[in-house]
Amino acid sequence: MTDTRIELARSGRRVVSKLIDGGFPDYAYLLPDVSENVVMASASAVLHAIKRLSAVAKAKDANAIGIEWREGSLTFCLAREAGIGTEEIEPISCIGAGRFAAQAHYLIEQLEALDAETLAIDHSGNGSPIRLTRPDEPATTTILMPLTWERPAAQPARKRA
């Protein structure tokens, strides 16, 4: 080992690496600030709602889940497939309003990794990252970038013959 390199050797193998010059990134800087749009709900209820919607999505490789909350309502839907399905669960608490879409498999991975009873979902909108937090361990936080989610165009009314 030197001031600029580290060496590890074991069982006839040797690894040499250059040490990092400087400090690690300021991870706190990368996390979005807590916004005024936060909903708290049962993590298992959120996870099951996402999994159910993901199971009925037509395009398994690109199923985007839309999540929306306001005034005590927390709704999940398939963001790219209008009219396929909607799940609604009762939130524990709701502050402000939020709306975003994200890939189902990323949401599922992060929720399973958080391993929480209660989940706080925070999103300030305008393409900012989604913040998923365990309220009982505020330092346990994940972030996820949202997808673009446009409201589907209204279907024209059919005329009766």
Distances (CA, A) of 39 to 67, 69, 77, 106: 11, 7, 16, 19
Provide the pLDDT for residue 151. 62
- For residue 131, pLDDT over 90 is answered with yes
Provide the pLDDT for residue 33. 84
Provide the pLDDT for residue 154. 46
What is the reported pTM? 0.75
In whole angstroms, what is the distance from residue 111 CA to residue 134 CA? 10
If residue 144 lies in a helix (H) or strand (E), which one and from where to where?
A: strand 137-144
Domains present along the chain, CATH in parentheses = 32-144 (3.10.150.10)
Question: By mean pLDDT, which of 24-33, 96-105, 118-127 is the weakest?
Answer: 24-33
The residue among 152, 45, 160 whose CA lies nearest residue 92 is: 45
Identify any residues that bridge with 134 across adjacent strands, giving them in sequence order.
Answer: 137
Provide the pLDDT for residue 114. 94
SS3 assignment, position 35: coil
On whether the CB atoms of residues 95 and 36 are closer than 8 A, the answer is yes
pLDDT (mean) for 101-115: 94
Provide the pLDDT for residue 81. 74
Question: By mean pLDDT, which of 16-20, 87-91, 108-112 is the weakest?
Answer: 16-20
